[in-house]
Structure 1
């Protein structure tokens, strides 16, 4: 229902470490109508230009702290609040070229009273500035 809103528009950018571009990042919202403890976020499947990104290269930053998807499995106190964008960072040496890219995100969320995972997903074309 709200899938088209999970990726924040115009948020795609390259990530620098000193003079090196080490990956890219974008802002995303939790695709559920309530806050979720990070251990309930089972997967953040990111793709760019049709290429699936390996899960070990994806991290989520909430309230200034970054978590790998593996670390999130045992994070029982930190929550991703409804409506609050978090940063998804992808490790990718050289980042993305300037210009438009097809960005995809599928969130696999475990909801306590639903027997199957909730999986909101969307794709969006965003532009990396030169």
Structure 2
């Protein structure tokens, strides 16, 4: 039900710092019915075009003006991610996403206090990065360049 929130529609974009594309980012929301402490968010697994998962060390989690590595996130016992808050996953991949169509797959593992196993929800969205992208978002918010489908779990 909440799986479509994992890769936000219209949110995939390249990240530019000092005139260099240093990676790409997408908006994400909780695939759960209530908020959680950020320390309960396990490292996302992100793939592009069916490739290997991007190493966790290259992923960042941003929320409320703060950015963490997933190792730092695991030790933050004070911050919360509420149900309606939008966070950002940034993948530090030099050059980001090339212009054209890409399939972004993301797995959101969460530790839920009353479950003896992590909740693992996956989602995939096909996006188009325009040739003039310098940090712009993917195509039309109405889905003209964005298609989605449930993803198979990223093992």
Alignment TM class, shorter chain as reference: over 0.9
Residue 14 of structure 1 and its aligned partner are, at CA, apart by 0.5
Q: Match for residue 50 of structure 1?
A: 50
Larger Rg computed on CA atoms = 2
State the SS of the aligned residue for 2:9.
Answer: coil
Matches within 5 A, 1:1-130: 1-51=1-51, 52-130=53-131
Q: For the Cα contact (< 8 Å) 2:61–2:89, is it kept in 1?
A: yes
Q: For the Cα contact (< 8 Å) 1:13–1:129, is it kept in 2?
A: no
Q: What 5-or-longer segments of structure 1 have no aligned partner?
A: none
Q: What 5-or-longer segments of structure 2 have no aligned partner?
A: 132-155
Residues paired across the two proteins, number? 130
State the SS of the aligned residue for 2:31.
Answer: coil
TM (norm. structure 2) is: 0.80
Q: For the Cα contact (< 8 Å) 1:105–1:121, is it kept in 2?
A: yes
Between structures 1 and 2, the one with greater strand share = 1
State the SS of the aligned residue for 1:43.
Answer: coil
Residue 88 of structure 1 and its aligned partner are, at CA, apart by 0.6
State the SS of the aligned residue for 2:78.
Answer: coil
TM (norm. structure 1) is: 0.95
Give me the CA root mean square deviation: 1.0
Greater than 6 Å deviation, 4+ residue runs? none
Residue 80 of structure 1 and its aligned partner are, at CA, apart by 1.3
